[in-house]
Amino acid sequence: MNNEFIMPAPPLPRTPAEEEKLRGRLTGFKIGYDEGYLRGRLAILDGRPEEPIPVRNLHVMYVASGKGYPYSPLDEAVLYALQKLTTQVTITDVRQNLVGLADAQRPDLVLVLDGLELPLDQVAELRGRGIKTAIWLTDDPYYTDFTINIVAHYDYVFTLERNCVEIYRGLGCTEVHYLPFAAHREHYRPTTGRSPVQRDVSFIGSAYWNRINFFRDIMPELMSYNTVINGIWWDRLPEAPLYGERIEIGKWMTPQETAVTYSGSKIVINLHRAHVDELDNNNKLYIPAASPNPRTFEIAASGTLQLSDARDDMGTFYKVGEEIDTFSSPQEMMDKIRYYLTHEEQRRDMALRAFERTLKDHTYTKRLNQLLTIIYG
């Protein structure tokens, strides 16, 4: 028997089509691995219970905005947190007789959300009965023409805009505090299984004119990716018909729909509205906006990468460049979109860090505990 070793024949070279197929398969494996790793890590973090906060022996009367959607999800978030933090909560809204209800219920604190439609004589009567009153303003600085007329009627004023604090103090309010909104985990959380939404880039928001002007010149490049825009007034954009259903006009998305869309997008753009807008604002003092909007926290709570326009106070809440990233021009935004769509590991790690930061510091339970601590110590 001949035991001579016989070299195997070398494999036949692959054809260009076979090479392309192999590259596609390897790319698919890599994408699947990256997506599975991200969803798995998000599931682990999302499963951690929130740090417990002691319950206060307080009775809070919560006065909802009474404006319906999109304010009602804010009402749900605040009410949920109050019910976890206090022994008793009475829920009402600005259309009810608060004085009669307070006489019957005797709350320790009346907390009003928005309050633009609440008769101020009711607030005066509540204070006259020795009941503490507080208002949490929802739209600073965009409606300060109205809010400057009501803030002095409350014992405590909470604003989500840092630049409004001194304005209100100048009106004689002694207790004015900066308290931005947050993420409600019952509404905003990541999709930890396979997402029904698959997008490269998403933007959800109303088409204020600063947003129209920002997007117009870069629309061809932005929409060359799998990009979808949702929100009202996008028929203001002349080029909107060119993109068909990828610009969804006139739909208010629920928080749950929004969270699924955020979580299924590789990048979510957060472009704040402008503080100067003669058509849509009521801000004759032109108070500039420095603070992050509620969407900042909601995007981060959905487990995706956020690109936001730069705001002066953003770094107070997230580490810019580590937890979220920012841009100062349309071209810088496009440069960063290109970068993060081709650097999966950086995109994934930043999304995870922002998600973890949000769970730790930026939930409504944490915010309402801050509010109660300011009032009661």
Topology of domain 199-361, CATH: Rossmann fold (3.40.50)
Q: How many whole angstroms separate alpha carbon 305 and alpha carbon 316? A: 18
CATH class assigned to 56-182+364-376: alpha beta
Strand partners, 90: 61
Mean pLDDT on 58-82: 95
CA distances from 25 to 19, 28, 32, 94, 182 (A): 10, 5, 10, 59, 41
Say what the pTM is.
0.90
Q: Which residue has the tokens 């922002």?
A: 354
Angle at 71 between CA 228 and CA 78, to 5 degrees: 115
* 66 against 17, higher pLDDT: 66
Sign of the CA dihedral with 100 first, then 104, 106, and 110 last:
negative
The whole-number average pLDDT for the span 92-101 is: 96
Is 98 a residue whose pLDDT tops 80? yes
Q: What residues form DSSP beta bridges with 227?
A: 201
SS3 per-residue string spanning 227-255: EEEEECCHHHCCCHHHHHHHEEECCCCCH
Task: Quickly state the pLDDT bin for 76 (edges 50, 70, 90).
Answer: very high
Cβ pair 316, 192 in contact under 8 A = no
pLDDT in tens, 262-283: 999 999 999 999 999 888 889 9
Taking only the tens place, the pLDDT of each residue in 335-372 is 999 999 999 999 999 999 999 999 999 999 999 999 99
For 5, 21, 24, 228, the CA distances from 28, given in Å and listed in that order, are: 39, 10, 6, 23
**Which three-class secondary structure string do you get for 130-179?**
CCEEEEEECCCCCCHHHHCCCHHHCCEEEECCHHHHHHHHCCCCCCEEEC
pLDDT in tens, 107-140: 999 999 999 999 999 999 999 999 999 999 999 9
pLDDT at residue 193, as a whole number: 86
Mean pLDDT in residue range 65-93:
95
* Measured CA distances, 135 to 183, 246, 265 (Å): 19, 39, 35
Which residue ranges make up each domain of the chain? 56-182+364-376, 199-361
pLDDT of residue 14: 75
CATH topology of 56-182+364-376 equal to that of 199-361? yes
- Cα–Cα distance list, 358 to 189, 223, 373 (Å): 10, 30, 20
For residue 355, give the DSSP letter: H
Where does the pLDDT of residue 19 fall: very low under 50, low under 70, confident under 90, or very high at 90 and above?
A: low
Strand order in the sheet with 247-249: 247-249, 227-231, 199-204, 265-270, 305-309, 325-327
* DSSP 3-state of 127: helix
Residue 344: predicted pLDDT: 94
- Per-residue pLDDT band at 72 (split at 50, 70, 90): very high
Task: Report which secondary-structure segment, H or E, holds 202.
Answer: strand 199-204
Structural tokens at position 155 = 């014992």
